[in-house]
Chain A
């Protein structure tokens, strides 16, 4: 069987890797972006000089040869479902038995006047990074628009080079449409501590031309003009499907796929950022443009193709990020505003740089989500609690099981349990931490 994968990101590469693991089908992976699969989330480290591009490759170049996965660097211009061929911009035609579309996202622009000017760019691809690199030279000031995960990354990147920047965030607090108010405030404080000129509650209105087609300044909705040589647009991403709009592929925001990640066309699948589930799991979105879901989709589809049909089930939601030096992890559901049937136990360290939040149902006391800032949590333990619908009073005494901070770090389980006992007039005691790793394994196996 000939399998063609369009896109060499985490979804496509994972699919390729698992198809090879489970079969000896012919696999071809096509990308116009890069020679080899690299970690997109690590692009910022290349700019900041923490890593070289080659360090961000999850597998060494030999890996692909050794596993007989053919890599082609070209742009796919379209495909034909009847002849089952893919057309490349090199003029080449490749035929397939199964086609996997994993073309990821592109930065989303909102039609601002001047958004097409030179010096205005999003951050998603390697080419975006090269563009930003080029415009960073002798840059006097940059403006970053959009208070999400990519926005803060771009702010950190420019800041690492000592480039003065203004960070425009439309919301009242950083990322407050995702983070509850306390965490959002914490990240906001951390951004300010880092010396970033953060403008909250401020949106971009237009980008001003310097007369030669280059950006001169931005105009905000507060009536201010900010002179700058570069504007980073980080107001979200959208599925990268423009190239396929005219095909018979059924699309909405992304390529519509069913439970088994199949499109409306036979033998054509879509995975990762570009796929939109016709029917998302309860509490989940139809498009989840994160690394982890891309990986799971790739793996699930490989299973479907090589073994037997399998529905995509991403399991319990988890995610993580790092805001400058502040680490963030979430397991389960921790929405920005608390649903009325739920309560939250929120502990914050007096220094305002660490916190733990546990959400639970008011009536049943079943835990529904964990969120930590500046503390590392053990994925498998949190997940098991959520999956087992553990009660808060079962979780708290065993909180040490979930800690994943390095050795010698100060532990806060005591303070957290104390807070709970005070708030609810209970008398929960912590289980001893001795030989904790064995207890973790026992718990996971139980």
Chain B
């Protein structure tokens, strides 16, 4: 009976996904030259390109791939014609800076494709977008609810039976297929959004309704993201309805995604205000200090200044204070959008995280390197943005200020770490200190010697590399696309610079810890297997050692799956150092053995 619901649910979900995917092929495309003219927004570029559009004129392409192939070819020909023109008639070449301001650059070609594709659309979908969109939504909702229904009938309790025998949860072909689909989606979203025109059209009506503008690919993604968290959140709520911690946590991520990440920005956009996600914090929100964001905030009056103040306050005060009281979980598994997706859509894949020591070694280097990258990139960008002289904050003063902040941070780590017996190894802190001093030293040296780029690279290139490598590939393609292959927290564990920052605070100075319950551990391994961060929880639990790890996001699943009630997430100001030492108490009732240990 229950299996019938699951099967029916799966079939309907696949039908919904099928229709959703098929909607990308439900339009045809006829070039609207006006949209290209507007999109290029450069009379010269358009005039030089126009002759190459002849072959596309009046021609109807059956899909976005063929259309964009032709469009791309025409634009490339236009680019070549422009380059020839610049060379022959104006004597300009790549070594001249004027050449670069006049030529048709690659990124302009790339970014004009989506608006042109959207404007050139015709056929079935444009007339029926609302209908198809609703059908997809209803199919996916109905399928999911049918699939979840047996969970409601089940006796409340942990339901991990069959996890490692499931093809889609244990890297079988359904899992690989799903991973491929998700990865393809992220690659398209970040690098080829013109092929997602069909999906953007599906959500167009809602975008018009909410903020009065046509949907962008980011609106489509945001809506999809919110819906997925809502639907898979319902799954979590049903699955863990015996566990109040899981219920509140899941409701929290659903709330923050729906209200803070989705609705509030829509409202602000409708009011013509800057519309950031108010719970997104630098350095996860790596563009917070980019010129266009700051300009936008500064030009928006009081509200803009509030946003600037809010963002900086969250980063400098909110993160350390909240993390001190509750551990990094207050953000990572209660508020964060990436965390929200990981805890809902990603929950079926949490057991796929790598628990090996090797993975931990890579994790520690990689995540902190990304943090360093984010810091360096932001300092470089802000230095270049700020005026060179004047009464206010100049680039120079800013550099001194951020160096001071870094030194204070390092000082705090040294100061507090010495006190905690369970603190970071001294070598780790030394490495961190040396890296911070390098960041300050190199920047300072370049600044004094009057270089315009603090860290060698053009800050534009630095930030576009960061955006590409960290923002798109790591956070998106690998971070989410690889859920069914590497688990649901790959990004949070190996890449998120904010998680690194929160983790440092958690490790150095926080009331949060996972307590182990005396000698009750039976070393079964459920806690380690279901830890999404790849922490070998059992290694601590079986030694009676309280757990203090910078990567722990406090999802509480280890405590939930423990069959013997051994683990508990707790906050307390009492010193953890004694209780977090190795082999604190195995034979806990035998003081003799312990004393002589």
- Measured CB to CB, the residues of A under 8 A from B are 10, 14, 21, 39, 41-42, 45, 48-52, 55-58, 60, 62, 160, 193-194, 291-292, 295-296, 299-300, 303, 307, 310, 313-316, 318, 320-322, 324-325, 327, 329, 376-380, 383, 387, 404-410, 435-438, 440-442
> Once bound together, how far apart are the Cα atoms of A295 and B593, in whole Å?
13
A376 and B522 form a contact (CB under 8 A): no
29 examples of A-B residue contacts, CB within 8 angstroms: A39-B523, A39-B524, A42-B525, A49-B162, A49-B165, A49-B166, A51-B525, A55-B164, A55-B525, A58-B525, A292-B520, A303-B596, A318-B519, A320-B520, A325-B156, A376-B568, A379-B518, A379-B588, A380-B518, A404-B517, A406-B245, A406-B559, A407-B245, A435-B572, A436-B572, A437-B515, A437-B570, A438-B573, A441-B579
Contact at A56–B525, with CB atoms within 8 Å?
yes
Q: In the complex, are the beta carbons of B245 and A42 less than 8 A apart?
A: no
B588 A300 Cβ-Cβ under 8 A: no
- Taking CB atoms, residues of chain A closer than 8 Å to B166 are 49
Do A300 and B587 have beta carbons less than 8 Å apart? yes
Complex alpha-carbon distance, A10 and B523, angstroms = 9
CA distance A57 to B536 in the complex (A): 11
Q: Which of B145-189 contact A (CB under 8 A)?
A: 155-158, 160-166
Please name all residues of chain B whose beta carbon is closer than 8 Å to the beta carbon of A407 when the two chains form the complex.
244-245, 556, 569-570
Contacting A at CB under 8 A, from B87-116, are none
The residue from A321, A383, A437 contacting B589, defined by CB atoms under 8 A apart: A383
Taking the complex as formed, is B586 at the interface, i.e. its CB lies under 8 A from any CB of chain A?
yes
Nearest neighbor of B538 in chain A, beta-carbon distance: A58
Contact B517 A378 (CB under 8 A): yes
Within 8 A of A (CB), among B574-597: 574, 579, 583, 586-590, 592-593, 596
Instruction: Assess the B522–A45 pair: CB atoms within 8 A.
Output: no
Kindly name the residue among B242, B538, B565, B573 whose own CB sees the greatest number of chain A CB atoms within 10 A. Answer: B565
Which 10 pairs, one residue from A and one from B, show the smallest C-beta to C-beta distance? A315-B589, A379-B518, A325-B157, A437-B572, A376-B565, A42-B524, A408-B244, A58-B523, A49-B165, A49-B162
CB-defined contacts of A49 to chain B, threshold 8 Å: 160-166
Asked whether, in the complex, the Cβ of A55 is within 8 Å of the Cβ of B529, the reply is yes
CB contacts (< 8 Å) of B593 on chain A: these are 299-300, 303, 310
A379 to B588, CA, bound (A): 9
Partner of A42, one of B155, B523, B568: B523
**B419 contacts A by Cβ under 8 Å:** no
- Beyond A42-B522, A376-B565, A379-B517, whether A313 also contacts B590 by CB under 8 A is yes
Which of A14, A39, A438 counts the most chain B CB atoms within 10 A?
A: A39
Which one of A58, A291, A295, A442 contacts B586 once the chains associate, using CB atoms below 8 Å? Answer: A295
Q: Could you tell me if B244 and A292 are in contact, using CB atoms closer than 8 angstroms? A: no
When distances are taken between beta carbons in the complex, the residues of chain B under 8 Å from A291 are 522
Q: Which chain B residue lies CB-closest to A41?
A: B522
Residue on A nearest B156 in the bound complex, by CB: A325
Please give the number of chain B residues whose Cβ is less than 8 angstroms from any Cβ of chain A in the complex: 56
Q: Is B564 positioned at the interface, with any CB of A under 8 Å from its CB?
A: yes
A408–B563 touching, CB < 8 Å: no
Chain B residues contacting A57 (CB-CB under 8 Å) are: 525
A72 CB to nearest chain B CB (Å): 22
Given contacts A48-B161, A299-B586, A320-B565, is CB(A438)–CB(B525) below 8 Å?
A: no
Q: Judge whether B226 is part of the interface by a CB distance below 8 angstroms.
A: no
Whether B157 and A296, one on each chain, are in contact in the complex, defined by CB atoms closer than 8 angstroms, is no
Given A49-B160, A327-B564, 6 additional A-B pairs, CB 8 A: A56-B523, A292-B520, A329-B565, A379-B518, A383-B589, A406-B568
- Given A318-B519, A406-B245, A408-B245, answer yes or no on A327-B565 (Cβ-Cβ < 8 Å): yes
In the assembled complex, which residues on chain A have CB atoms less than 8 Å from the CB atom of B524? 39, 41-42, 45, 51, 56
A315 and B520 contact, Cβ closer than 8 Å, known pairs A55-B528, A376-B568, A407-B245:
no
How far, in Å, is B487 (CB) from chain A's closest CB?
A: 14
A409 to B242, CA, bound (A): 9
Residues of A within 8 A of B579 (CB): 441
Min C-beta distance of A190 to chain B, whole Å: 8
Indicate if the CB atoms of B519 and A379 lie closer than 8 Å: yes
Asked if B155 and A193 make an inter-chain contact with CB atoms under 8 angstroms apart, the answer reads: yes
Question: Is B472 in contact with chain A by the CB < 8 A criterion?
Answer: no
- Would B519 and A292 count as touching, CB distance under 8 A? yes
Contact between A378 and B163, CB atoms less than 8 A apart: no
B101 shortest CB reach to chain A, Å: 59
Tell me the bound Cα distance from A39 to B573 in angstroms.
34
Assembly CA distance A160 to B161 (angstroms): 7
Q: State whether A438 and B563 are in contact (beta carbons under 8 Å apart), knowing that A56-B524, A329-B520, A378-B517 are contacts in the complex.
A: no
